[in-house]
């Protein structure tokens, strides 16, 4: 499976710089993964700008183009008050939380719970996800 990512961020978040290496790691991680015969690419856009905290999550499944897409929304004010380690955790937590929107799609044989668990383990191994203590950033 391929991975594509973009950003809609305010200039001072530096999420693109923070996530750049992780994006490469995700691409390598997904290389030999298959969560549905109808999905060849996972696409995300990380959003962290003032005023986007309550934005509606965009999401899409295309059988024709074989991709799943979802937005990742990160609360700007909260994020800006975090250390770099906590920012990585916030991104990973937001990724896992917002991935839930994909549950409404039904690609053939799609195993969202397996994909979500794989990402959870992946983020933990990369030390981007702190031990669970609930939804600490909401």
pLDDT confidence of residue 137: 47
pLDDT confidence of residue 119: 95
pLDDT confidence of residue 51: 82
Sheet (strand 67-73) strand order: 2-9, 41-48, 67-73, 59-62
pLDDT confidence of residue 133: 57
Category of 36 on φ-ψ map: left (φ > 0), alpha (ψ -120 to 50) or beta: beta
Per-residue model confidence as pLDDT tens for the chain (138 residues): 999 999 888 878 889 888 888 999 999 999 999 999 999 999 999 999 898 777 788 899 999 999 999 999 999 999 999 998 999 999 999 999 999 999 999 899 999 999 999 999 999 999 999 876 554 444
pTM over 0.85: yes
pLDDT confidence of residue 55: 79
Task: Annotate 45-59 with three-state secondary structure.
Answer: EEEECCCCCCCCCCE
CA atoms of 93 and 123, how far apart (whole Å): 9
Alpha helices in 10-111 (DSSP H): 15-30, 76-80, 84-99
Residues with Cβ within 8 Å of residue 133, at least 6 apart in sequence? none
């Amino acid at each position: 499976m391929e991975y594509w990512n973009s950003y809609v961020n305010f200039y001072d978040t530096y999420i693109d710089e923070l996530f750049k290496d992780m994006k490469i790691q995700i691409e390598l991680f997904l290389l030999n993964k298959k969560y549905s015969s109808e999905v060849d690419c996972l696409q995300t856009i990380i959003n962290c700008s003032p005023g986007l905290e309550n934005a509606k999550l965009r999401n899409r499944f295309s059988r024709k183009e074989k991709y799943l897409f979802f937005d990742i929304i990160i609360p700007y004010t909260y994020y800006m008050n975090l250390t770099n380690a906590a920012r990585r955790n916030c991104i990973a937590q937001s990724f896992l939380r917002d991935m839930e929107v994909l549950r409404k799609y039904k690609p053939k044989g799609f195993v969202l719970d397996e994909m979500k668990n794989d990402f959870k383990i992946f983020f933990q191994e990369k030390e981007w996800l702190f031990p669970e203590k609930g939804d600490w950033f909401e």
